[in-house]
Structure 1
């Protein structure tokens, strides 16, 4: 089904809302069930969910935040703070700073793992070529990385 127009309003199906927001259809249903998003209007003839522009603005934000690693409880907090507007600006900043710090630490861990795998590949390449000196030279670097895990 395609988006429907009623008056000036465009209504999206759950499939279209899912594709646009990056959130799966079950996730959209779940977010409605737990009250993260308000009740979604239904098409009177089919009973299917129809998402309007306001709902899509919220879902687009939630999709971005979810892809950045925020958990459902953090999404709920974000929406609660958003409803308070600028009065909650400091709390919003803290919420995003906290998650940015967490994401930065995760990136550092992933970078370390990536470096380890690249060194292991170089080690086995050196062994494949019979270059014992190169292989032996990589071992201290690998051990150093392992100690940082």
Structure 2
């Protein structure tokens, strides 16, 4: 199956899980402590954590949610709803739709910040070239972007 994630052929250590997920080892321990991961298996001889394929899959889902800006409380809600199965489909849909709206608003703000930086670069480029007309146009463009920041507040 093209594009599918390769499942680990064995349980992963905490170091391997941290590398694979992007979460730090303390974050993985914290997520386990607050119940986001369910029960994490332990090596019988050493007591070290061993992440099974099912736990790896859950952590990868949480990593995606976290990278999309979901809070820990949102991830808790997701895990709680998962436990309810299909009967929580409406709540799952609403959780993801709400997070998508938040992310869209964040992207809009980032686009505005990007535009601001580009207009400021244009301004300084005009100064470097000694182009007074281009500098004035850049100043006006910066002011327009700054006005948009003020409208967002």
TM-score w.r.t. structure 1 length? 0.89
* Cα distance in 1 between the residues matched to 2:130 and 2:29: 58
Q: Which runs of structure 1 show a deviation greater than 4 angstroms over 4 or more consecutive aligned residues?
A: none
Aligned ranges 1:78-117 → 2 under 5 Å: 78-117=78-117
Instruction: Provide, for residues 82-134 of structure 1, a one-character-per-residue CA deviation record: whole Å limited to 9, x for no partner.
Output: 11122111111111111111111111111111111111111111111111011
Aligned ranges 1:23-62 → 2 under 5 Å: 23-62=23-62
State the secondary structure of the residue aligned to 2:99. Answer: helix
Instruction: Report the counterpart of residue 18 of structure 1 in structure 2.
Output: 18
* Cα distance in 1 between the residues matched to 2:145 and 2:53: 49
CA RMSD of aligned residues (A): 1.3
Count of residues in Structure 1 that have an aligned counterpart in Structure 2: 141
TM-score w.r.t. structure 2 length? 0.86
* Cα distance in 2 between the residues matched to 1:51 and 1:109: 37
Instruction: Provide, for residues 10-38 of structure 1, a one-character-per-residue CA deviation record: whole Å limited to 9, x for no partner.
Output: 32111112222222111110011112222
Instruction: Report the counterpart of residue 142 of structure 2 in structure 1.
Output: 142
State the secondary structure of the residue aligned to 2:49. Answer: coil
* Cα distance in 1 between the residues matched to 2:38 and 2:93: 25
Unaligned runs of 5+ in 1: 1-8
Unaligned runs of 5+ in 2: 1-8
